[in-house]
Amino acid sequence: MRYKNQVGIIYGLRSSGYFDIRTLNGEKIHSSAKYQDLKVIERAKTLILERRNQRTFLHLKEDEISCAGL
């Protein structure tokens, strides 16, 4: 995507319909960009995966709140 002369990827979609745009190394370009301000440069043909050493267990309850229901 191109956002105001900067190239990035769509990192997230807000419930309001705005996009979180970041570079490939994770630097934030804009956290709430309108789709009218974005221009498609190339559509994704692959997935980007990140391997993390730390695990997050979603089934554990903390203060009687389960992360699995979020």
pLDDT 10s digits, 34-68 = 989 999 998 888 887 777 777 666 555 556 665 55
Predicted TM-score (pTM) of the model is 0.58
Residues 32 and 44: their CA atoms lie apart, in Å, by 21
48: CB partners within 8 A, 6+ apart: 9, 24
Share of the chain above pLDDT 90, in %: 21
20 pLDDT higher than 90: yes
